[in-house]
Structure 1
Amino acid sequence: MGKMANPQMRSCAACAQVMSLDDLQYCRETKSESVGARLYTLSKLVLLFLHRAATQKMHVRTQGRKKTMEKRIEGARPARAETDGRIQASRRDVMKGAGALAAAAAIGPAFGGGGRAWADDLPGKVGHVTTNDGVNLYYLEAGSGKPILMIPGWSQTAEQFKYQLTGLSDRYRVIALDMRGHGESDKPEHGYKISRLAKDVQDVITALDLDEVNILGHSMGCSVIWSYWELWGSDRLAKLLLIDQMPMITSNPLWTPEQTAAAGSIFDKNALYDVPNALAGPDGVEVTKGFVGNMVTANISPEEKEWIIQRNLRMPRQHAATLLYNHSTQDWRDEIPRLDIPTLIVGGRVSVVPWQSQVWINEQVPGSRLEIFEAEEGGNLFMFIEGHEKFNKIVADFVA
């Protein structure tokens, strides 16, 4: 993809027209998402935060030099040790502030009483499962009947399924899991790989003695399901519910635009490292806010958007970065056609996950059902929050 003269414009891979990044979500002429624009937008999002942070640091340094020069002119030359001390103190203050915010987000509020979720007054109970490598996993459970095991997306929590715990537990046994490092589960220094998370899910299914389970994955949760399938096939599974995950996040530079669209890739080879590095860096909290903030529609309330972001921040940023890198290197295009049990696929028309990739998955899995949420229905990555009433109806009908 060639360089664009105006960084505020983009060229649509489908029709070759140049469009405004601010005004157009996808090509209105062909209704085909611009894959190039998604690569461009997400990469530039991270670079924007890095540039902003660098600019702020430069401003601080410039102001410091200006004040120092003024003092020298006035005959009050400061000692170098004194100046360095002020700079170091300033840096410590900034890092303490960022660290406090990250720590508060990672620790989160305390639990409430009665074995229930901590703040949202969710129905049901809290439970724990210990994995075969000694990691304590937290889950929320409500209702009875056919089991639905829900696996959240990257760095998100079991609580993100609050509308499903309240809206589906009247007829189903809903179990929402915090993966290792996420939410209220243990946060070890190891195991932040999709294959390890798949083993964790198998440990949960075994510990809870689940059989004929309907397993739902949101975003990265789908990759965990595909890894589970690769290792254990359909063992103990009844149906799959795949919510908005592309077959491969990172594009191959040799791919055609059509191949990139089918894979749903949103990272190029540079973003594969730039995004995790930015998340793990000193500006990781701010990068997260921009990164996750791009995953909802403009119609979501500021309070709901902030709620999603704060749940994401409960995973330490270094662990989140490690997991995102591993997640972004997975290619599931060979495994998806092997799925041979009833499968529901849900995507969003304006999601950060190109909707064409969900069409491709639907075409690879015989008999699968495809649902695409439009923009006005909350059709971005968190459509199960923004459009939870429609989403719950689709899930209830499919599981039945």
Structure 2
Amino acid sequence: MNQGGKYVKIEPGVELFVQDVGNGDPIVLIPGWTFTTEVFHKQVEHFQKTNRVIAIDPRSHGRSSITMHGNDYTTHGSDLAKVIEALELKNVTLIGWSFGCLTMWEYIRQHGTQNIKALVFVDLSPKPLSINHEQDWVEGPLDEIAAAFNTYLRDSEKQREFISAYATGIMVQRELKEEELNWIVEQSLKTPHYIAANLFASGMFSDYRTEAKLACESVPTLTIVAEHWAPIAKNFVAQHAPQSAVEVLGGHMMFWEHDEKFNQMLEPFITKS
């Protein structure tokens, strides 16, 4: 078990694994689709020196309970609220990566921003899918997203192929060592393919533009986007979350590949918020 690892009971038969280390104002880290607390190990190591840092394995991810229900971002948002309540966290800085941003926006939809000190959204549009893929910040053209869902989320072998290609093509800019790629793929495969498909659909059909606007109007907000779609992403954020600060860095998993730059980018924002 990781340092500070423990379980939070969410409902009968469902526990979420959390890593809870350090002291000070709380920072909560939420990983993306099918990923785990382990992807944030460089942020946990860095920020636990100054803050209480909580990293969460969402429902059906990592070491949390695998369930046949609640595999959607509406439930993930309410799960996040239950973790915050169980750990008695106040004035929280939420940091979500990829579909972890959906969990944050859903939390805001359900509970508002009154217990939030600051928000960091890492590389996801509040509306991940649109027929206007050339103008809007989306995960990809509709046909490509449909093909990914119908082809690569039907069994574990295809899921492995999908994550391998995504890791090498989108998530990381440099060439990955074999053991690094294996580690990334292993994180994803802890979520069974049939649950991964549910989460994929739930995420892709989300629309949190209202919550994105509310968030940046209510509390200090930072959006960090990858270099490969920075121009369109920055324009989309300016339109839908105009008061959010925006930074550009690396690929989709920039917090892992460029951890020192990422952490230095976050430090002043978290300190002054």
- Tell me, yes or no, whether TM beats 0.5: yes
The aligned residue for residue 348 of structure 1 is 226
Q: Shift of residue 362 of structure 1?
A: 4.3
Q: Which residue of the other structure, out of 191, 200, 203, is the alignment partner of 1:327? A: 203
CA distance in 2, matches of 1:232, 1:240: 14
Counterpart residue identity of residue 289, structure 1:
S
The aligned residue for residue 288 of structure 1 is 163
Cα distance change on mapping 1:136 and 1:250 into 2, 3 Å: same
CA distance in 2, matches of 1:295, 1:140: 27
Post-superposition CA distance 1:88-116 (Å, at most 9, x none)? xxxxxxxxxxxxxxxxxxxxxxx4xxxxx
Post-superposition CA distance 1:228-276 (Å, at most 9, x none)? 1111110311100111001222222xx3833x2xx334141x3343212
User: Is 1:246–1:354's contact at 8 Å kept on the other side of the alignment?
Assistant: no
Q: Shift of residue 177 of structure 1?
A: 0.2
Cα distance change on mapping 1:236 and 1:326 into 2, 3 Å: same
Q: 5 Å matches for 1:121-270? A: 124-132=3-11, 134-252=13-131, 255=132, 257-258=134-135, 260=136, 263-268=137-142, 270=143
The gaps in structure 1 that reach 5 residues or longer are 1-110, 112-116, 118-123, 374-378
The aligned residue for residue 297 of structure 1 is 172
SS at match of 1:150: strand
CA distance in 1, matches of 2:162, 2:138: 22
Give yes or no for the alignment of 1:386 onto 2:257: yes
User: Is 1:141–1:174's contact at 8 Å kept on the other side of the alignment?
Assistant: yes
What is the root-mean-square deviation in Å for CA atoms of aligned residues?
Answer: 1.9
User: Is 2:209–2:240's contact at 8 Å kept on the other side of the alignment?
Assistant: no
User: Is 2:159–2:189's contact at 8 Å kept on the other side of the alignment?
Assistant: no
User: Is 2:126–2:207's contact at 8 Å kept on the other side of the alignment?
Assistant: yes
Post-superposition CA distance 1:301-348 (Å, at most 9, x none)? 313333222211111111111100110001222321112210011111
CA distance in 2, matches of 1:326, 1:134: 23
RCO higher in structure (CA 8 A, sep ≥6): 2
CA distance in 1, matches of 2:173, 2:114: 40
> Which ranges of 4 or more aligned residues in structure 1 deviate by more than 6 Å?
none
Q: Which residue of the other structure, out of 116, 133, 151, is the alignment partner of 1:278? A: 151
Give yes or no for the alignment of 1:315 onto 2:188: no
Percent identity, aligned pairs only, is 28
SS at match of 2:209: coil
Post-superposition CA distance 1:143-197 (Å, at most 9, x none)? 1111100000000000100101111111111110000110000001111111000
CA distance in 2, matches of 1:328, 1:284: 17
CA distance in 1, matches of 2:106, 2:266: 22
User: Is 2:119–2:221's contact at 8 Å kept on the other side of the alignment?
Assistant: yes
Give yes or no for the alignment of 1:306 onto 2:182: yes
Cα distance change on mapping 1:358 and 1:206 into 2, 3 Å: farther
CA distance in 1, matches of 2:236, 2:146: 27
User: Is 1:180–1:186's contact at 8 Å kept on the other side of the alignment?
Assistant: yes
SS at match of 1:226: helix
User: Is 1:216–1:243's contact at 8 Å kept on the other side of the alignment?
Assistant: yes
CA distance in 2, matches of 1:244, 1:266: 13
CA distance in 2, matches of 1:298, 1:256: 23
SS at match of 1:295: helix
CA distance in 2, matches of 1:354, 1:328: 20
User: Is 2:6–2:20's contact at 8 Å kept on the other side of the alignment?
Assistant: yes
Cα distance change on mapping 1:298 and 1:241 into 2, 3 Å: closer
Post-superposition CA distance 1:353-375 (Å, at most 9, x none)? 655224422454354221101xx
Q: Which residue of the other structure, out of 215, 218, 237, is the alignment partner of 1:361? A: 237
Name the larger-Rg structure: 1
Counterpart residue identity of residue 264, structure 1:
V
CA distance in 2, matches of 1:256, 1:143: 42
